[in-house]
Structure 1
């Protein structure tokens, strides 16, 4: 069995300047662009923890709490909060900052499940993680519940995929 690692060992921080091509007609960051940043920083944190390639298994609901405006920065912080056999839960917090005023706000939080894979892209065991700070302990304590919720949600997603398949709506009589 591999030795457990502290959550902080996987900490990854990434800042990006929000430029015009990153924004919608409201002058705010595209939600999909922010989700791409979230996926990227979570993958880096997961690899940093397990030192293996990873794939994204799921992203929990993403609530856009504050807009991120053109000219602002968005700073993402991510770390592994919990592990289970081959998967890791990664917590990501995104903070928007108005560079001219210095005002900072949490704009999004998310949990992602990342799975370590071997050279054949098969799931591969990961090292356990342990929390140290009060915040890490709080996240770690709720992780098993979130894991079960994700398993149930994945089962429902598979049922939907099977029910609707790949045929076009007008070919199903809808």
Structure 2
């Protein structure tokens, strides 16, 4: 197996900003949750590819916490960064910031953690570089990743148990 060098987390930082228009919103005048989730997956996958320099697939969306509504006329900025790496998988954190463009008032609107797996030319998982933190925010995200990974592993087992339980209907 080839030696893969370490990369600073900041090399994966990916930022996307969009203007919220009426077709993007629900009947309450706020951004559709599904639309925001698509933005999150998009920006997170770009951050993951920046690390792997290979195609990636979403293995899980661990959480999407909607904290504040994003209204028509606001801008929505998503900041994604790879916070932790395994051998072939990585955790990506996405922070969503809403800005009232006419006033300049900003607020964190959502937070999300996703897991991606890098794929080689053969379509199978491939080894990725390890990331390392530099800033205080990066250090906190990196140091707390093992706790999230343990929760993710437990949740995945629960999902497997549910699949086994419900699969009897298909046989």
- Same fold judged by TM-score > 0.5? yes
Deviation at 1:162, TM superposition (A): 1.9
Provide the rounded CA distance (Å) in 2 between the counterparts of 1:74 and 1:165. 40
Residue 81 of structure 2: aligned partner: 79
Structure 2, gaps ≥5 residues long: none
Deviation at 1:110, TM superposition (A): 0.9
Provide the rounded CA distance (Å) in 1 between the counterparts of 2:160 and 2:43. 27
Provide the rounded CA distance (Å) in 1 between the counterparts of 2:32 and 2:163. 27
- Taking a change above 3 Å as real, the CA distance of residues 19 and 137 of structure 1, as seen in their structure-2 partners, is same
* The 10-residue stretch of structure 1 (6-15 or 138-147) with the greater mean CA deviation from structure 2: 138-147
Structure 1, gaps ≥5 residues long: 169-174
Residue 99 of structure 1: aligned partner: 101
Deviations 1:114-159 (A, max 9, x none): 1101123211111000000011011100111211211111111111
Deviation at 1:6, TM superposition (A): 0.2
Tell me whether 1:40 sits opposite 2:51 in the alignment.
Answer: no
Q: TM-score, normalised by structure 1?
A: 0.93
Q: TM-score, normalised by structure 2?
A: 0.94
Tell me whether 1:163 sits opposite 2:165 in the alignment.
Answer: yes
Structure 2 counterpart of 1:58, from 49, 60, 63: 60
Residue 18 of structure 1: aligned partner: 20
Preserved contact between residue 94 and residue 113 of structure 2 (Cα < 8 Å): yes
RMSD after superposition: 1.3
Query: Which aligned pairs between 1:103-114 and structure 2 lie closer than 5 A?
Result: 103-114=105-116
Structure with more of its chain in strand, by fraction: 2
Deviation at 1:165, TM superposition (A): 2.8
Deviations 1:40-95 (A, max 9, x none): 00000000111010000111221110000011110000111110000011110000
**Runs in 1 of length 4+ with deviation above 4 angstroms?**
none
Residue 132 of structure 1: aligned partner: 134
Provide the rounded CA distance (Å) in 2 between the counterparts of 1:94 and 1:158. 30
Tell me whether 1:31 sits opposite 2:33 in the alignment.
Answer: yes
Provide the rounded CA distance (Å) in 1 between the counterparts of 2:139 and 2:49. 21
- Taking a change above 3 Å as real, the CA distance of residues 2 and 58 of structure 1, as seen in their structure-2 partners, is same
